């Protein structure tokens, strides 16, 4: 059985969402980032970066959430993985774009405005992060003005990867980006997304 390392409160939530869409069972090691379990030589053997998520698919070890989702969707011939090579390339484009332009930026913005205890928040980090989040959301807004979904005419791994990474966007004011806000809500309305949100929020 596929094994997934990583808590629903981490970037492993993206993989849990995809596994839910594909209806694939997994042996879930619900380990938090930086937990003692991720600091063992055994875990470092799986991922020398000591980060989650990691999968073990019958001995095939893979880290990096975006790569894991692309691999699993393609391997299982999911309709969420586009058949058209151009749309497939768009899945990669948006996944890489998110990792580069939005992933840590939105996390850092939320950590330093509300998630961390007040004494640990650094306004300069929040400000610098927000200054990167804004143009990234502008890019997303423009793209969603041209097409309802990011890679082709229906929800795909591109939408899943970007929307799952934008989980924190559900709790911030996205009024300046109405299309992105509506798209994010559409993505998170999916049953697999709701289940992951429940796991993440302990419901
Ligand atoms: N680019 C990686 C990032 C993985 C990552 O940073 N994971 C965090 C949890 S969300 C982690 O394990 N952090 C542990 C640490 O910072 O040592 C991915 O998308 O999988």
For 52-110, the pLDDT digits (tens) are 999 999 999 999 999 999 999 999 999 999 999 999 999 999 999 999 999 999 999 99
- Locate all alpha helices (DSSP H) within 102-171, ordered by sequence: 103-110, 123-146, 157-165
Specify whether 97 is located in the same domain as 181.
yes
Specify whether 112 is located in the same domain as 31.
no
Kindly give the distance from the C-alpha atom of residue 53 to the centroid of ligand 1, in angstroms, as a whole number: 7
Q: Which residues contact 117 (CB under 8 A, 6 or more apart)?
A: none
Determine if ligand 1 sits within 6 Å of the CB of residue 95: no
Closest CA to 166 of 93, 110, 91: 110
Kindly give the distance from the C-alpha atom of residue 33 to the centroid of ligand 1, in angstroms, as a whole number: 7
Specify whether 47 is located in the same domain as 91.
no
Determine if ligand 1 sits within 6 Å of the CB of residue 169: no
Specify whether 108 is located in the same domain as 176.
yes
Does 199 map to a domain?
no
Kindly give the distance from the C-alpha atom of residue 108 to the centroid of ligand 1, in angstroms, as a whole number: 13
Determine if ligand 1 sits within 6 Å of the CB of residue 64: yes
Specify whether 101 is located in the same domain as 186.
yes
Does 117 map to a domain?
yes
Looking at residue 108, which CATH number applies to its domain? 1.20.1050.10
Does 182 map to a domain?
yes
pTM higher than 0.85 = yes
Specify whether 73 is located in the same domain as 89.
no
Determine if ligand 1 sits within 6 Å of the CB of residue 67: no
Q: Which residue has the tokens 């993505």?
A: 187
Of 14, 49, 78, the residue that ends a domain is: 78
Does 115 map to a domain?
yes
Determine if ligand 1 sits within 6 Å of the CB of residue 75: no
Angle at 109 between CA 104 and CA 111, to 5 degrees: 90
Question: What is the rounded radius of gyration, in angstroms, for the C-alpha atoms of the chain?
Answer: 17
Mean pLDDT calculated for residue range 196-201: 96
User: What pLDDT sits at residue 202?
Assistant: 87
Residues 184-194: pLDDT tens digits? 999 999 999 99
Of 20, 55, 78, the residue that ends a domain is: 78
Residues 151/96, Cβ–Cβ less than 8 Å:
no
Q: Whose CA is nearest to atom 18 of ligand 1?
A: 64
d(CA 137, CA 16): 24
Specify whether 158 is located in the same domain as 117.
yes
User: Tokens in use for 109?
Assistant: 């913005």
Domain membership of residue 15 as a residue range: 3-78
Kindly give the distance from the C-alpha atom of residue 185 to the centroid of ligand 1, in angstroms, as a whole number: 25
Does 195 map to a domain?
no
Kindly give the distance from the C-alpha atom of residue 135 to the centroid of ligand 1, in angstroms, as a whole number: 23
Q: Which atom of ligand 1 is nearest to the CA of 12?
A: 10
Specify whether 9 is located in the same domain as 90.
no
Total domains present in the chain: 2
Residues 132/125, Cβ–Cβ less than 8 Å:
no
d(CA 114, CA 189): 25
Residues 100-144: pLDDT tens digits? 999 999 999 999 999 999 999 999 999 999 999 999 999 999 999
Residues 184/141, Cβ–Cβ less than 8 Å:
no
Does 203 map to a domain?
no
């Amino acid at each position: 059985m596929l094994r997934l390392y990583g808590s629903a409160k981490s970037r492993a939530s993206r993989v849990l969402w995809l596994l839910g869409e594909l209806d694939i069972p997994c042996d879930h090691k619900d380990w938090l980032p930086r937990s003692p379990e991720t600091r063992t030589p055994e875990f470092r053997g799986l991922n020398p970066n000591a980060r989650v998520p990691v999968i073990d698919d019958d001995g095939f070890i893979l880290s990096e959430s975006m790569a894991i989702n692309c691999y699993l969707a393609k391997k299982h011939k999911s309709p969420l993985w586009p058949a058209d090579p151009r749309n497939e390339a768009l899945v990669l484009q948006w996944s890489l774009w998110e990792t580069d332009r939005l992933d840590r930026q939105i996390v850092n913005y939320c950590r330093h405005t509300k998630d961390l205890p007040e004494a640990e928040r650094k306004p300069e980090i929040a400000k610098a992060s927000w200054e990167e989040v804004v143009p990234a959301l502008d890019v997303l807004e423009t793209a969603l003005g041209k097409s309802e979904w990011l890679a082709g005419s229906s929800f795909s791994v591109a939408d899943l990867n970007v929307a799952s990474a934008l989980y924190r966007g559900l709790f911030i004011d996205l009024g300046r980006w109405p299309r992105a806000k509506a798209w994010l809500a559409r993505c998170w309305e999916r049953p697999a997304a709701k289940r992951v949100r429940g796991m993440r929020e302990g419901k």
